[in-house]
Amino acid sequence: MKDTLKHKGLRQKLVKVLVDKGITSELVLEAIANIPRHLFMDSSFLDHAYQDKAFPIAADQTISQPYTVAFQTELMQICKGDKVLEIGTGSGYQTAVLCELGAKVYSIERQHELFKITSKFLPKLNYRAKKLVFGDGYKGLPELAPFKSIIVTAGAPFVPKPLLSQLEIGGRLVIPVGDKVQVMTLFVRTGLKQFDKTEFGEFKFVPLLENKN
């Protein structure tokens, strides 16, 4: 588990690419500059780790493209100490970004293999989520709600109602919605039953799968 000067240099280049693509949050860019993304991927992908691309991980899943991670994280507007929920732990890279920003992170993964690998791996890098959960993200975590923000890192065919209802007032849900391609969508809870919805560009995610647990 090495992180060398070469890796750090490659990360600085990646940060420049993200700035060129429109990412402005210094805190998000700093998180990306700090996290050894190459360690979240199979070693054969070492050369690719700092390109702005998604890559395969275990269980037929992918580690999201850095731009996508940065874009979604920016929309969450995290402040230190925020209680946040992530749906789709995957490699744990996005979880690490949220930890770097000082959030109290809860994250759900439905693939047992990934849940096990990532639960062991993140503490090795000193990223300590409040709780990693093996379960179905469509349900959220009602017993731990409300959350300041919720991020969904898989393509949702529709917006799961439990996720909206688990936001605190003023809270933000960032979710890519759609089947083949997804529209990045932000919901801000403005009242008990009121939500402001804003749509951003199109992205491509692996699907948020239903009824598998």
Parallel/antiparallel/unpaired status of strands 195-203 and 182-189: antiparallel
Q: Nearest distance from residue 180's CB to ligand SAH, in Å?
A: 16
Complex with ligand SAH: residue 39 or 114, whichever CB lies closer: 114
Could you tell me which residues come within 8 angstroms of residue 125 by beta carbon, excluding any fewer than 6 positions away?
Answer: 1, 36, 39, 96
Q: Nearest distance from residue 89's CB to ligand SAH, in Å?
A: 6
Rg of the chain over Cα atoms, rounded to whole angstroms, equals: 16
Are 64 and 94 in contact by the 8 Å Cβ rule? The answer is yes
Complex with ligand SAH: residue 82 or 136, whichever CB lies closer: 136
Side-chain-facing half-sphere of 49: CA atoms under 13 Å: 25
The contact set with ligand SAH (CB under 6 A) reads: 61-64, 87-88, 90-91, 93-94, 108-111, 114, 136-138, 153-154, 206, 208-209
Q: Which residue has the tokens 């100490």?
A: 81
> Could you tell me which residues are beta bridge partners of residue 87?
108, 152
Complex with ligand SAH: residue 104 or 110, whichever CB lies closer: 110
Catalytic residue among 64, 91, 107, 149: 64
Closest CA to 184 of 76, 37, 25, 95: 76
Q: Nearest distance from residue 63's CB to ligand SAH, in Å?
A: 4
Complex with ligand SAH: residue 10 or 156, whichever CB lies closer: 156
Q: Which residue has the tokens 């995957």?
A: 90
Are 149 and 174 in contact by the 8 Å Cβ rule? The answer is yes
Active site residue 64: yes
> Would you name the residues annotated as active-site residues?
64
